[in-house]
Amino acid sequence: MSARGVFDGTAEAVARDLIGATFHVSGIGGVIVETEAYDATDPASHSFGGPTRRNGPMFGPPGRAYVYRIYGLHWCFNLVCDGARRGSAVLIRALEPRSGLDVMRRRRGLKADAALCSGPGKLCEALGIDAALNGADLTQPPFAFVLPSRSVAISQGPRIGVTRGAETPWRFGLAGSRFLSRPLSAVETAT
């Protein structure tokens, strides 16, 4: 699948496909180990109920970033996907740090490696993602994606921090990874 094509699937499919992919921002990054899917039919999604000033990028073309501030303090980074159905996106929740560890530690305040990117807010701080990248094209610098070449074991479960749609099992993780924001249980295999 091409770097552009990977974003043109349902949120659930893209969230699954990106587990094990490498992701860098200006050369800083690592392996995506945790994602969550959201779409317009989903009461937990910002896109549920249609476009607003904040969620604009979710209703634009796939392959763009949707960055928003949460709890007034942190940033969350999403990949807009599904060209056939607007309002779909994948939240990147955790990364296994591989490149630019020194930069990440400086930005995060010298945290242990497993705590550098183990959550959506932490990951944005470590990678330097903020509102300046909202709406940016994910197929162009500073972004770089490389999909996994081998099949990876994926765990799946309910999403974190949501109240509405809490049962929907749209959180995906690299099975057994110690870099997750929180553990997952059920295991299956995917590419």
Partner DNA sequence: GTTCCGATGTACT
Partner DNA sequence: GTACATCGGAACG
Q: What angle do CA 118, 26, 146 make, to 5 degrees?
A: 70
- Name which of 132 and 150 has its Cβ closer to DNA: 132
Burial zone of 160 (CB within 10 Å; 0-12 exposed, 13-18 middle, 19+ buried): middle
Q: What is the four-CA torsion angle of 113, 31, 120, 85, rounded to 10 degrees?
A: 180
Q: Which is nearer to DNA, 3 or 105 (CB)?
A: 105
Least Å from the CB of residue 36 to DNA:
6
CB of 189 to DNA, least distance (A): 26
* Shortest Å, Cβ 61 to DNA: 17
At 120, which amino acid appears?
P
Tokens of 58: 């979710």
Q: Spell out the alpha helix ranges (H) of the chain.
A: 11-17, 101-108, 120-127
Structure-token pair, residue 57: 């990028």
Q: Which is nearer to DNA, 17 or 42 (CB)?
A: 42
Nearer to DNA, 81 or 154 (CB): 81
Where does this chain bind DNA (CB under 7 A)? 36, 38, 44-47, 49, 52-54, 58, 66, 69-74, 76, 78, 89, 91, 108-109, 111, 115, 119-123, 159-164, 181
The CB-of-68 to DNA minimum distance in angstroms stands at 7
